Amino acid sequence: MILSVSRRTDIPCRFTPWFLNRLRAGYALVRNPLRPSQVSRVPLTPGAVECIVFWSKDPAPLLPHLGELEERGYPFYFQFTLTPYGRDLEPGLRDKGDIEAAFRALSRRVGRERVLWRYDPVVLTEGYPLSWHRATFEAMCARLAPYTASVTISFLDLYPRLRSLGLRAPEAGEVRELAAAFAASARRQGLDIRACAEPWDLTPYGIRPAACIDGALIARLTGREVTARPDRSQRPACGCLESVDIGAYDTCPNGCLYCYADHGRPPAPHDPEGELLTGALRPGDQVRDRVCRPALSGQTSLFSFGDH
């Protein structure tokens, strides 16, 4: 299986000790977000986990432990969201200069093809107008291009609770204007630019749809043929392959105002030694072993990172 760590919360930034403990134990318990009494026991052994996709806004706490992951035989790469917003939108994050330093350090450690930059989402406010995004994206492309091969963009999905916060998603004309500017900036720095789960057709600007759980990348990383199916549980425009996520909603202390994974519910207590990310098993919980389909075949793919 492909393991997602995690779309639902920032495990590398906030819960690295728990994650490492679960790898050493060989499993984690994960509540079904739609049916909380149903709990899956997800195997985390190297034989079960064929690739790990990390999602984070600041994975610095995980960096000292990458050697352990490699020694245990886990292939991995990072979806690293690095946006230029201040603490008015992202109150729980460190100084962005420090996070950029972590981005560079991670790239030097694992290689630029394993660190995928996300400028995600594009949020418009009085303080963050189109002109600001154009200039800021241009500058970030120049700084980060030596440390990544690609950038993934997305535009804010305006959930009802966000309207009262003064956040705004770009309108159609603004999307086209930003897409053209972003594509030109990325092209100047030699970055591949893609769009994550967007309903807009941005191919006229040279922006292809993204696949964040990316079969082509995983094949290059592992040297094996990828057989995983498209993930039908995601949004219709999502290009990802199937994965198993071990995170939980409403648990991330980063506190980003635009976050789709935060519904305003208080999190249960976190125990780094616990089987679950937060809370504990309750009376009536039904715990079942998660049956995970192989995502890779035994056949060697034509290309791998070793061929480059």
Find, among 212, 214, 220, 208, the residue nearest to 182 by Cα: 208
Cβ-based neighbours of 215, under 8 Å, separated by 6 or more: 226, 228, 241
What confidence tier does 302 reach under pLDDT thresholds 50, 70, 90?
Answer: very low
* Cβ proximity of 253 and 9 under 8 Å: no
pLDDT of residue 212: 95
Percent of the chain's residues with pLDDT above 70: 97
The stretch 117-142 carries a mean pLDDT of: 97
Lowest mean pLDDT among 3-17, 167-181, 255-269: 255-269
Residue 102: domain span: 2-307
**Rounded mean pLDDT of the chain?**
94
State how many domains the chain has.
1
Amino acid, res. 109: R
What confidence tier does 308 reach under pLDDT thresholds 50, 70, 90?
Answer: very low
pLDDT of residue 306: 42
pLDDT of residue 299: 63
Helices (H) and strands (E) in the chain, counts: 8, 13
Core vs surface per residue 51-61: b (16+ CB within 10 A) or e: bbbbbbbbbbb
Q: Is the pLDDT of residue 13 over 50?
A: yes
Find, among 70, 81, 74, the residue nearest to 47 by Cα: 74
Find, among 229, 220, 222, 124, the residue nearest to 178 by Cα: 124
Six-digit token string for 201: 């057709």
pTM of the model: 0.95
What confidence tier does 300 reach under pLDDT thresholds 50, 70, 90?
Answer: low
Six-digit token string for 279: 């809370």
Note the pLDDT tens digit of each residue in 247-269: 999 999 999 999 989 887 888 89
* Cβ proximity of 267 and 43 under 8 Å: no
Separation CA 38–CA 288 (nearest Å): 8
The stretch 2-29 carries a mean pLDDT of: 98
* Cβ proximity of 225 and 238 under 8 Å: no
Note the pLDDT tens digit of each residue in 58-95: 999 999 999 999 999 999 999 999 999 999 999 999 99
Nearest-10 crossing angle of helices 172-188, 130-144: 20
DSSP 8-38: SS-HHHH-HHHHHHHHHHTEEEEE-SSSTTE
Note the pLDDT tens digit of each residue in 93-129: 999 999 999 999 999 999 999 999 999 999 999 999 9
